[in-house]
Amino acid sequence: MSVDLRFSNVDPPAPEPKRSIYTDLVNLPNPVYLGLTVRIFNYDDVGLYMRVDGYGTGWTFATNNLGLLASGANQYYNLDNFGSRAKPASAVSETVTVRLRAYTDAGYTTLKWTFERVIDVVFIKSDDGSWTQDVLNNFDDGTVQGWAASNILNNYAGYPTLAVQTDYVLSTPYSLRMDGRPAIGGPAKLESRLYKSFTTANRNIVYAVFDVRVGGTYYGTYQWMKQVVIYKDTDILVRIGVYIASNAHHMPGNKWMRYVVPLPKNTTLELRIHHVTYFSADSGTRAYLWMDDFKIISKD
């Protein structure tokens, strides 16, 4: 096969690890939406025009014409609101198929390759009585509740800062906000880390639920949203978006997004959220990441 589609950062020819998408139905809208970051490889001798869509029972998927990918190249693409379905009434696990089609022409009429991968979608319902809530950080006591922030790349001295705020919240009166500030004039990458250590319960199934929002000053003028990456220690659990040094957004901003990740039981670990932006100038630019109603849940 001369094209490949992956959801991980594992390069061919190594096998693609099994990937699942998890979410918690509590307080989700109806319909629910599925977003994906995919990685596409072109091993053909010629450049190909890539199209990604999907199918699954009860789902509706958008068709994404992603343009030309050169021979021998690979690229990450963020597909926001890629799929949607009516909100399930209760917990359910299902599968959807993500389909890559590669064309030789810009009009997407001459099909050369088709490649498909199946991905599991797991809906949990944390208020159905079967789960124990081990941790709830809603910041409504006016403190950061043990979270901390650190510079990874190009933050000004003393940044990122961390404080409770009232500007965007899911449960009143407060959410947590990390503020990044560029230390150089740009253009450059700005990366900040939000983190906290936990010891998970000794139960068979453990999840962390993150509700996160990103944005900033001069959003889309001097600064562009690129990535949110969630780690367990140094292991990547979720990657949304793409880092490309360009004046374009590569992940959604200015809206709340939910990330649900499985965790090992009875383990001490550090959960980390990396917020990555690209800024073209430091003219009072700030990169914000909000979080509210973080929780860890478990059950046998």
* Pairwise CA distance, residues 228 & 213, whole Å: 10
The structure tokens listed for 233 are 């220690």
Q: How many CA atoms lie within 13 A of 277 on its CB side?
A: 34
Longest dimension (CA), the chain: 60
- Nearest-10 Cα torsion for 233, 236, 241, 245: 70
Q: Which pLDDT score is estimated for 186?
A: 84
Pairing mode, strands 205-216 and 256-263: antiparallel
The answer to whether 77 touches 38, Cβ cutoff 8 Å, is yes
Instruction: Go through the domains of the chain in sequence order and give each one's CATH number.
Output: 3-124 (2.60.40.10), 134-299 (2.60.120.260)
Reference 277, options 218, 225, 238; nearest CA is: 225
The answer to whether 274 touches 180, Cβ cutoff 8 Å, is no
Q: Which pLDDT score is estimated for 213?
A: 98
* Pairwise CA distance, residues 229 & 231, whole Å: 7
Query: Which residues in the chain come in under a pLDDT of 50?
Result: none
134: left (phi over 0), alpha (psi -120 to 50) or beta: alpha
* Pairwise CA distance, residues 83 & 55, whole Å: 9
Q: Which pLDDT score is estimated for 223?
A: 94
Report pTM: 0.94
Q: Which pLDDT score is estimated for 184?
A: 86
The structure tokens listed for 140 are 């409504």
pLDDT by residue (tens digit) across 243-293?
Answer: 999 999 999 999 999 999 999 999 999 999 999 999 998 878 999 999 999
